[in-house]
Structure 1
């Protein structure tokens, strides 16, 4: 059960860290925010605003974040609701976030209701709680170093894809704005208020192909044939595209980004709210004496599967 909890938590965290792209709110949200009123901007004005937002966000390199994600039950593992809050930095990736929600606890009564996740120097640390510590020599922090895992693979190409995937997991708001600029139907949707802050709302849609072409991180991970294979696989799953929506304040910072990814199983929704751009994102890893390395677990499991030389088994 401990292995199940850790694996589920790592996968859920990876999904949330990737952030994908952003989506539109419900019709009720749009009415409440006053969407549709005011002067509509031209395409050149929209591009100018989103470009300015991208430049300021990239320069800020950090912010406080509140994120929610909802996945349909029909999607199976990792479905349900997930919330994350804390500080996130980009270029380089740094995070100190707390996760909670039914996506962590459904199907496992012993799973912790909250998990704190730290990210520093391409290493993820997860506080699995006191219950899990009983099965990990009293250590409640789990360490997952994908660079080390890539080295253990022994395949240069596979290692490059794995570490490249780690780098591209940090879909920070600046990268999301850069991808949004590539949307052929990007448009201004009118003024709106987010938590009392006056903003301008913009939305666009990227097909799977357009998203992959905009995500430059894939260039380092996949060759042409592999990209084509991935594209076919995603399209075969029924995902048509990514609906993106962003609210930009008067200081040219995005204060909210949403994501809708529609598939035959339902719609995965992600919403991120950003405050205090430039907030200190300093992360200190937990003490080594309180940390359980996931690689050590893999080695132990591998050892359990080897024949016993003395017994002949």
Structure 2
């Protein structure tokens, strides 16, 4: 069965659209490197150093593959710039036959529903959630539970999560997309993450808290995490999985590059329906 949510005016966001909203937050920091991480470094120190390096990332591109609660199997690619904030993601889901694209430009989130959405929107395939109406729109879409509220967070944030684990261990050395890496693994509860989050500046703590809330809404309270760290002490690949009670969470993200220019443009206005205006029209009509 295809899952969907209905918004004002009869619009529905289905399958990959739900997953795209969930994944808009992304995952971890990244880098390229030619040699595996130093064997002299302890597992905890290696993970902490990679987490620290993620704070300097200003943009990144990544590939995703796995399963998300409520969305089934998903895969796609994304690019994100932190300053200025912009994001573009294209992905597919087992619950939807059509690929979905989302873009975050400034304070506006755009969702391309493809041909099916165009049939319900006078030939327009893009839907816009502007900042002024995002709160009400998110309620109508149930988008907050799908991660829309976290769409503007730094996707490098979750690379710091494994630092809260008490059982980090080295698995071995592996080659990921031609890059030699060292593989680490550990488990961490959300309670342990919150305790570890008390250190650091206010902005960093707020980003981490938003990410934790995302996982709480999925139904996860404990994460098993894998990190593949390259010779430059950055995360090349990251995997997290959990039994959420709402379906399996098992997502792997591989980073293609970082700190390279990322440009994202808003869709043409002629192809876009403004959800805020649609909601106003619906309210005025009772």
> Which TM bucket (shorter chain)?
0.7 to 0.9
Q: CA 1:301 to 1:211, structure 2 compared with 1: closer, same or farther past 3 Å?
A: farther
Query: 2:21, 2:151 within 8 Å by CA — same for their partners in 1?
Result: no
What is the number of equivalent residue pairs in this alignment? Answer: 258
Question: Which one has the bigger helix percentage?
Answer: 1
Query: 2:53, 2:234 within 8 Å by CA — same for their partners in 1?
Result: yes
Q: CA 1:246 to 1:16, structure 2 compared with 1: closer, same or farther past 3 Å?
A: same
Residue of structure 1 in register with 2:255 after alignment? 274
Q: CA 1:264 to 1:101, structure 2 compared with 1: closer, same or farther past 3 Å?
A: closer
Query: 1:84, 1:97 within 8 Å by CA — same for their partners in 2?
Result: yes
Q: Distance in 2 between matches of 1:69 and 1:169?
A: 22
1:172 pairs, out of 137, 145, 155, with: 155
Q: Deviations over 1:42-81 (max 9, x none)?
A: 6xx334323332343332321221012314xxx6xx3321
Question: Which one has the bigger strand percentage?
Answer: 2
Deviation at 1:151, TM superposition (A): 7.9
Query: 1:21, 1:258 within 8 Å by CA — same for their partners in 2?
Result: no
Q: Distance in 2 between matches of 1:97 and 1:148?
A: 22
Aligned pairs for 1:1-313 within 5 A:
3=10, 5-6=12-13, 10-19=17-26, 45-71=42-68, 78-90=70-82, 93-105=85-97, 113-150=98-135, 166-167=149-150, 170=153, 172-173=155-156, 175-213=157-195, 214=197, 216-217=205-206, 239-264=220-245, 266-304=247-285, 306=286
Q: Distance in 2 between matches of 1:206 and 1:92?
A: 32
Q: CA 1:41 to 1:267, structure 2 compared with 1: closer, same or farther past 3 Å?
A: farther
Structural RMSD (CA): 3.8
Deviation at 1:147, TM superposition (A): 4.1
Q: Distance in 1 between matches of 2:129 and 2:192?
A: 32
Query: 1:21, 1:244 within 8 Å by CA — same for their partners in 2?
Result: no
Q: Deviations over 1:254-286 (max 9, x none)?
A: 111001011345531111000121122111111
Q: Where do 5+ consecutive residues of structure 1 fail to align? A: 23-37, 106-112, 154-160, 222-226, 307-313
State the SS of the aligned residue for 2:270: helix
Deviation at 1:136, TM superposition (A): 1.2
Q: Distance in 2 between matches of 1:194 and 1:5?
A: 38
Q: Distance in 2 between matches of 1:144 and 1:120?
A: 11
Q: Where do 5+ consecutive residues of structure 2 fail to align? A: 1-5, 30-36, 139-143, 198-203
Deviation at 1:291, TM superposition (A): 1.0
Query: 1:53, 1:252 within 8 Å by CA — same for their partners in 2?
Result: yes
Q: Distance in 2 between matches of 1:242 and 1:204?
A: 8
Residue of structure 1 in register with 2:32 after alignment? none
Query: 1:95, 1:283 within 8 Å by CA — same for their partners in 2?
Result: yes
Query: 1:123, 1:145 within 8 Å by CA — same for their partners in 2?
Result: yes
Q: Distance in 1 between matches of 2:261 and 2:273?
A: 27
